Amino acid sequence: MKKIFIIIPLFLGGFLFSQKKPAKKPVRKAAVTQKLNYHDEFKKISDEIMVNGTAYNNLGELTKGIGPRFSATSGYMKAAEWAERKLKEIGVEMIWRQQAKVPVWIRGRESLQIKAGNGDWKNIRMLSFGNSEGTGGKDLTGEIVLINSVPELNATSIGQLKDKIVFVNLPMDPKIINTSDSYLIAAKSKLISPSVVALTGAKALIIRSLTTANDDTPHAKMIYYEPDDKVKIPAMTIGARSADELEKLLKKQKVTAKINMTAESKGETTNPNIIAEIPGKKDSNIILLGAQLDSWDFGEGAIDDGTGVVQCIEVLRALKALGIENRHTIRVVLYANSENGGQGRDMYAAYVKKKEERHIFALGTDAGGYSPRGFSLDMSPQRRRQIFEWKNYFLPYGVYDFDQTEAIQDISPLKKMDIPLAELVVDTQRYFDYHHSIEDTFDKVNKRELLLGAVAMTQMIFMIDKNW
Average pLDDT, the chain: 91
Q: What pLDDT, on the 0 to 100 scale, is given for residue 18? A: 36
Predicted local confidence at residue 11, as pLDDT: 34
Domain boundaries, given as residue ranges, for the chain: 38-105+267-467, 108-262
How many other CB atoms sit within 10 Å of the CB of residue 96?
A: 11
Write the pLDDT tens digit of every residue in 257-295. Answer: 999 999 999 999 999 999 999 999 999 999 999 999 999
Decide: 417 and 353 in contact? Cβ < 8 Å. Answer: yes
pLDDT tens, 199-225? 899 999 999 999 999 999 999 999 989
Instruction: For residue 222, count other CB atoms closer than 10 A to its CB.
Output: 16
To the question of domain 38-105+267-467 being in CATH 3.20.20.10, the answer is: no
User: In the structure, what pLDDT confidence band is assigned to residue 77 with cuts at 50, 70 and 90?
Assistant: very high
Q: If you average pLDDT over residues 49-66, what whole number do you get? A: 98
CA 101 to chain centre: 19
Residue 350 dihedral angles phi and psi, to the nearest 5° = -65, -35
29 pLDDT band, cuts 50/70/90, is very low
Please give the CATH topology (third level) of the domain spanning 108-262.
Glucose Oxidase; domain 1 (3.50.30)
What is the dihedral sign for C-alpha 166, 138, 300, 100?
positive
Per-residue burial over 414-435, b = 16 or more CB atoms within 10 Å of its CB, e = otherwise: bbeeebbbbbbbbbbebbbbbb
Between CA 277 and CA 256 the distance in angstroms is: 56
Contact present, 437 and 464 (Cβ < 8 Å): no
Rounded Cα distance between 278 and 91, Å, is 9
Q: Report the DSSP beta bridge partners of residue 112.
A: 124, 259
Burial 284-314 (b: 16+ CB within 10 A, else e): ebbbbbbbbbbbbbbbbbbbbbbbbbbbbbb
Work out the pLDDT band at 34, boundaries 50, 70, 90.
Answer: low
- pLDDT over 70, % of the chain: 93
Above 60 in pLDDT, residue 31?
A: no
Listed in sequence order, the residues at least 6 apart from 77 whose beta carbon sits closer than 8 Å to its beta carbon are 271
Q: pTM for the full model? A: 0.89
pLDDT of residue 157: 73
